Amino acid sequence: MRIFALLLVGCTSPAVDPPAGREPRLEEPPQVPPVIGVCSEQVSLYGMTGSATPTTVGPFTIQSEGVDICLELDGRDNLQVADFAASTPYEQNTTSSMFQLTLLDHDGNVLRESWDVTFGDSPPTTFANLEYGVTKGTVLSAVLHVAAKCVPLGTTVSVALFEPYE
């Protein structure tokens, strides 16, 4: 006798009544800037290491409030810009990441939100990606807020700071 188990995990958005003559569509909930809490990790990155090899931070279990990673992004010695990049691990068989990344300054202002990157089609593979240019000659103190679209979920985050013009 064979027993098979199937576990499906997914996120849904509430359906919205369409205006007359339009197709129904799913509506994304309004984005509310996250509230900066206590940082789970503190990471300092130097932009002129000569390598864009990312640093893995975590693992984390993401609850409804998300996880904050405090960052010090050192672009003092960069030639043009210090390119900050953050991404989640690859997710198979989906075209929408289960995670949202938000880069904030220490006053809670949103500097950049992540977007989903999908490649391949059998099966598709997706990850959340965020990039931000740190002005050369500066050090930026920031917070990377990692939230799950469905909670709780476990993940790691890769972060890197590098000179793209070297």
* pLDDT tens-digit readout, 23-44: 434 444 445 555 566 889 999 9
- Reduced to 3 states, what is the DSSP secondary structure of residue 166? coil
User: Residue 19: exposed, middle, or buried by beta-carbon count in 10 A (0-12, 13-18, 19+)?
Assistant: exposed
Q: How many angstroms separate the Cα of 87 from the Cα of each of 5, 26, 66, 130? A: 30, 26, 15, 6
- Reduced to 3 states, what is the DSSP secondary structure of residue 81? strand
Predicted local distance difference test score (pLDDT) of residue 32:
53
pLDDT band at 159; cut points 50, 70, 90:
confident
pLDDT band at 19; cut points 50, 70, 90:
very low
Name the average pLDDT for the chain: 80
Residue 57 has pLDDT above 80, yes or no: yes
Class of domain 37-162: mainly beta
DSSP 14: -
* pTM reported for the whole predicted model: 0.74
The pLDDT tens digits for 6-17 are 223 344 433 334
> Tokens in use for 144?
């990377």
Domain boundaries defined on the chain: 37-162
Q: How many angstroms separate the Cα of 76 from the Cα of each of 40, 79, 108, 136, 140? A: 26, 9, 23, 6, 10
